[in-house]
Chain A
Amino acid sequence: MTKARKQMHLGAILSGVGTTQNGWLDPGLPGDASVDIDWYIDNARKAEAARFDLVFIVDSPFITPDTAPHFLNRLEPLTLLSAVAVATSRIGLAGTLTASYWEPFNVARQFASLDLISKGRAGWNVVTTGLEGAARNYGRDTHFDHALRYRRAGEFLEVVKGLWDSYEDDAFPRDKAAGVFLDKAKLHRLDHKGEFFSVAGPLNIQRSRQGQPVIFQAGESAEGRAFGAAIAEGIYSNAESFEQAREFYADVKGRAAALGRDPDHIVILPGLVPIIADSDEEAQNGKLDLDKALVQLGRPFNYHDFRQYDLDAPFPDVSGLTLNSYKGHAERIVRTARQEGLTLRQTAWHFAARANPFVGTAATVADEIERWFLGGASDGFNLRVTSPTDFARFIDQVVPILQARNLFRRDYAHDTLRGHLGLPFPENRHALAREQLAVAAE
C-alpha cells in the first residue's frame, strides 16, 4: 500500500529527570531538571536544531510519595511552553491540560495566547486525567466515570474550538484614520448551551497564523480510540510492538474515515524510548528493582499495592478494583497476564522491563523506525527525552540516517505546527458559513 505521507514526524517529550524510579541518577542529568527551565530550553533548542516537529509536555495533577520523580516535582505545561516559545522559533509546542478540571474558557484563552506568542506553534494534548486521586484536588470525592469523562471532554472541546473562532481572521482593520479597530460583524458570540457547559463567549483573543492550536489526544481504551478518531489531529500512542501499533493505527484511521474525516489529517506518534548501543547486543541496565516495579505496576490500577500478594502465584484477581484510571493500560496488563499465564512477579518484570523493539545500533534503530513508518504502524514518533547522552545519540546518529533515506526533513519548510504536521488550515466557521451562503445564492 502506498504511503500517503512522504516524511515522518518527530516529537520530543521533554521529561526532566524521567519517569522511571532511578533514571534521575544519571550523572549527566541535573537532579532539578524537571523544574529547571534552562534544561527544557536547552533540549528544545537541540530538538529544533535536529528539525523535530514539536516538543511535547505530558502532565497530571496528582501525586503520592511513590510517584515517579519527574511527576513528583515539575513545571506546569503552559508556563513552561510560553518560556520555551520565546527561546525557539520553529519547533511546535504541545502541552497537556485536562478537560476534567479546567474551565473551557480559560483553556481556550491560554492556548490561544501561547499560539499568538509563539506565532502559530501551539498544540493542546486533551486528556481526561487517569488518576482517581486527582478528583480530590478539585473538590470532588470521585473522578468522573470513564464514559462520562469522554462525553464531557467531547463537549469541552466543542466549546473551546467554538471560542477559538470568536473572531474571523480579518476582524481587525485597525484603521487609525477611519477610527475603526474592530469590524463588529466579524465578532461572534458562541452561546453554547449543552449537557455540561453553557458558555456565552466571545473569547477575548484573536486567532493566530495557524488558525487554531493543533489538537492532540492519547487514549487506548475503546472510548479513547473513538474520541481520537473523532477529534484528534495528533495522537500520542503507547504501542509496545509493531503488530500492536499497526492494529491501533488501522483501527483509528479506519474509524476516522468512517466519520468522514481524511485519515491523513491524524498524525499518529507512538512513544519511543530507544536504547542505542555500539553493538546489537541488548544492554542489561543494571539490577532491576522488583519493589519499584510492583509500585509502577500498581499505578494504572489507581495505585493498588501489589506487594501484598504472593509473588509467585498467578496474577491476582483485580476485577474488584475500579478501572477508572488508565483503563486501557490496566486492561492490557490483565489481558497479557491471563493470556500468557504469568505470575505476579513475571507480570511485574514484563511491564517494567518490557520488550522494546528499538534497541541496538543506530542503524538497527533507524531500520525499525522505518519499518513502522512504511508498514502502516505510525506517522512518526514521540521520543522520550531525559538522559542527555541518549538524546545526543539519537540526534547525532539516528536522525541523519533517517534524513539520508529521505524519511525525515533536513530543514523546516514551514514555521507553524500545522505546517510541520501537514495539517490543513481550519477556516473560521463563520467566514465559511458566509461564503457558503453566498455560493448558494448565486
Chain B
Amino acid sequence: MTDQRKIALGFILHGVGRTWNDWRHPDRDVNASTSFAFYKEQAQLAERGKFDFLFVADSLSITEKSSPHYLNRVEPITILSALSAVTSRIGLVATLTVSYSEPFNVARQFASLDHISGGRAGWNVVTSWLGDTAANFSRAEHPAHDLRYRIAAEYVDVVQGLWDSWEEGAHVGDKDSGVFVDPSRLHRLDHQGEFFQVRGPLNIKRTPQGQPVIFQAGASNDGRNFAASRAEAIFTHAPTFDDGQAYYRDVKERARGFGRDPGDLKILPGISPIIGDTDADAEARYQELVALESLETGFGFLSRTFNDHDFRQYDLDAPFPDVAHIGLDSQQSGTLRILADVRAGNLTLRQVVQRLATPRGAFVGSAETVANALQTWFEHEAADGFVVMEPLPGQLALFVERVVPILQARGLFRDDYEGTTFRDHLGLGVPANRYTIARDAQRAA
C-alpha cells in the first residue's frame, strides 16, 4: 500500500539566528538579518531541496534587550517579494499581524505577492502578543486575549472577501471586442461588521492560485479553534513526539467538528534539526550550540514569554518564582508550558533558563536518524510536515544534501515540484469564489 501523502517542508528564514548568541558562531554571517544576499542564498538552497515554502516570522516592537535578529531585520512582505524574483516554485509565507494593520492593505499586498510570484503566497495570521506593541500604534493598551481572536476572525473574513472581488474571467482584456473588464464579475464586498466596515472592491484581480494560503500558529484554546476552523496550515511548537501527537489529534478533531475534511489542514511542527556524520557527531554539534549560548539567552526567552518581566532579580537556584499571573495574558501557551514543566520537575529558575536557551528537540543525529524521526512523526499522527529552522550555520545544506534524498528514496517526499503554485505543493484545493458559487446556485434554481 503506497501512502500518497508526502511530507511538507518549510524553511524559516531567520537571519543571524534565534537566540542572543547565535550570531557569534564563527561561521555565521553577522549581517544575515539585513542582507538580501544571505536570504537569497538560503532561499535558493531550500528550493534546490524542493521545499514547499519559505517562512518569515515577525514582531513589531523591540527594546534594547531584544535578540539580534529581532533588533534589526528586513520586513516580511518586502523580503518575500524580493525573493519571488530569484526563485520560481517555492512558496512564500509572510507573518503579518491583524492587530495593527488595515484589512484592505493586507489583502492587497498578499494578492500582489501572489501575482508577482505566480501563485506562491501564504499569510501567517497572528495577533501580536507583547504589550509594548500597542505603544507603537497609537493605542493605549493591547486588546485582551479573547477579543483578539474575534477581531482576527472578522479580519480574515474581510480579507478573503476582498480576495473574491474579481471572479475568474472578470478581467477580459479582449482587444478585439474592446472589453477590458466584465463589470458583472466585479463585486463590492460591503462588509459591515463588529470591528470592520469595508466596501471594496479590491483593485487587483483574482490571483493565480485563487487565494493566498492561510497559515496560523495558535496553541491556546482559542488559537486551536481559530486554526481548526480557518487555517490551511498550522505552524506549531512541539518539543516531543507526544506533544506533537496530542496537538495533531486535538486540532484535526476540532477541524472535523467544524465540518472540515481534516486532510485540508496541514499541521507542521517547527523543528531545529542538528545533523552530523554520525549520531555522536551530531551530539557534539549540539554541545557546540550549548557552549555558544549563555544564561542571557534563556533569560531573554523567559522574559519575552512573561511580558518582558525581568527574572534576574530572583535567586537562580531557588524554585521558579510565582509569576503565573504575568504571563497568562501575553503568550498564554508558552506560559502554560513552562509552568507545567516547572510543576512536573520541581524546576529551579536556572533549570528553566537553560532549557529555553538550548532546547534539544527530537531531531539530533545522523541524516538517517533524523529522517527516521521525521518519518515516525509523519506516519503516526504527529505531523503532516515540518517547518525547519537552522540552529547552526551549514545545517540547511546538510538537510538538503543528506536528509531530503533519504526521504525521497522512501517515497515520503517529492523528487521534483509537480505543480507551480503553493496550493499545488501542499495538495490544497483552490477555494471557489463566493460570487461564482452564488451565481451558479441561482442558475440551478
B78 touches A74 (CB 8 A): no
B24 touches A205 (CB 8 A): no
Is A202 on the interface with B (CB-CB < 8 A)? yes
How near does chain A come to B262, taking the closest CB pair, in angstroms? 33
The chain A residue sitting closest to B135, CB to CB, is A200
Is B115 on the interface with A (CB-CB < 8 A)? yes
Give chain A residues whose Cβ lies under 8 Å from the Cβ of B102: 101-102, 138-139
Do A83 and B173 contact each other (CB < 8 Å), given the known contacts A176-B30, A205-B74? no
Query: Which of A32, A105, A114, A137 makes the CB contact (< 8 A) with B100?
Result: A105
Q: Which of B101-147 contact A (CB under 8 A)?
A: 101-102, 104-105, 108-109, 111-113, 115-116, 132, 135-138
Residue-by-residue, is A165-205 near B (CB-CB < 8 Å gives 1, otherwise 0)?
00100001010100101101001000000001111111011
Residue-by-residue, is A238-272 near B (CB-CB < 8 Å gives 1, otherwise 0)?
00000000000000000000000000000000000
Q: Which of B218-277 contact A (CB under 8 A)?
A: none
Residue-by-residue, is A57-72 near B (CB-CB < 8 Å gives 1, otherwise 0)?
0001111010101011
The chain A residue sitting closest to B121, CB to CB, is A79
Give chain B residues whose Cβ lies under 8 Å from the Cβ of A205: 34, 72-75
B84 touches A83 (CB 8 A): yes
Give chain B residues whose Cβ lies under 8 Å from the Cβ of A112: 75
Scoring A27, A79, A83, A136 by chain B CB atoms within 10 A of each residue's CB, the highest score goes to A79
Q: How many residues of A contact B (CB 8 A)?
A: 67
A373 to B60, CA, bound (A): 44
Do A204 and B180 contact each other (CB < 8 Å), given the known contacts A79-B109, A113-B75, A139-B198? no
Query: Which of A80, A138, A172 makes the CB contact (< 8 A) with B72?
Result: A172
Q: Which of B51-91 contact A (CB under 8 A)?
A: 59-62, 64, 66, 68, 70-75, 77-79, 81-82, 84-86
Scoring B108, B111, B112, B136 by chain A CB atoms within 10 A of each residue's CB, the highest score goes to B136
The chain B residue sitting closest to A201, CB to CB, is B136
Give chain B residues whose Cβ lies under 8 Å from the Cβ of A22: 178
Query: Which of B85, B100, B198 makes the CB contact (< 8 A) with A83?
Result: B85
Give chain A residues whose Cβ lies under 8 Å from the Cβ of B203: 60-63, 67, 71-74
B64 touches A182 (CB 8 A): yes
B198 touches A137 (CB 8 A): yes
Is A8 on the interface with B (CB-CB < 8 A)? no
Give chain B residues whose Cβ lies under 8 Å from the Cβ of A174: 23, 30-31
The chain B residue sitting closest to A200, CB to CB, is B135
Is A24 on the interface with B (CB-CB < 8 A)? yes
How near does chain B come to A174, taking the closest CB pair, in angstroms? 4
A110 touches B79 (CB 8 A): no
Is B36 on the interface with A (CB-CB < 8 A)? yes
A204 touches B73 (CB 8 A): yes
A179 to B108, CA, bound (A): 42
Give chain A residues whose Cβ lies under 8 Å from the Cβ of B82: 82-83, 85-86, 117
B101 touches A106 (CB 8 A): yes
Do A35 and B173 contact each other (CB < 8 Å), given the known contacts A113-B75, A114-B78? no
Q: Give the size range of B's interface with the partner.
A: 35 or more
The chain B residue sitting closest to A185, CB to CB, is B64
Do A25 and B201 contact each other (CB < 8 Å), given the known contacts A35-B115, A179-B24, A200-B132? no
Scoring B24, B60, B105 by chain A CB atoms within 10 A of each residue's CB, the highest score goes to B105
Give chain B residues whose Cβ lies under 8 Å from the Cβ of A204: 59-62, 66, 70-73
A137 touches B104 (CB 8 A): yes
A65 touches B171 (CB 8 A): no
Residue-by-residue, is B168-189 near A (CB-CB < 8 Å gives 1, otherwise 0)?
0001011100101101001000
Is A37 on the interface with B (CB-CB < 8 A)? yes
Is B434 on the interface with A (CB-CB < 8 A)? no
Give chain A residues whose Cβ lies under 8 Å from the Cβ of B68: 181-182
Is B411 on the interface with A (CB-CB < 8 A)? no
Is A41 on the interface with B (CB-CB < 8 A)? yes
Query: Which of A27, A75, A138, A199 makes the CB contact (< 8 A) with B175?
Result: A27
The chain B residue sitting closest to A159, CB to CB, is B138
The chain B residue sitting closest to A137, CB to CB, is B104
With A31-B175, A117-B74, A205-B73 already in contact, 11 other A-B pairs whose C-beta atoms are closer than 8 Å: A31-B180, A37-B84, A83-B116, A105-B100, A110-B77, A133-B199, A137-B200, A179-B21, A182-B72, A205-B72, A206-B34
What are 14 A-B pairs with beta-carbon distances under 8 A?
Answer: A24-B173, A31-B173, A72-B180, A73-B171, A73-B204, A82-B81, A85-B82, A86-B86, A105-B60, A105-B100, A117-B36, A138-B102, A181-B30, A205-B75
Residues of A participating in the B interface, judged by any CB pair closer than 8 Å: 17, 22, 24-25, 27, 31-32, 35, 37, 41, 60-63, 65, 67, 69, 71-76, 78-80, 82-83, 85-87, 101-103, 105-106, 109-110, 112-114, 116-117, 133, 136-139, 167, 172, 174, 176, 179, 181-182, 184, 187, 196-202, 204-206
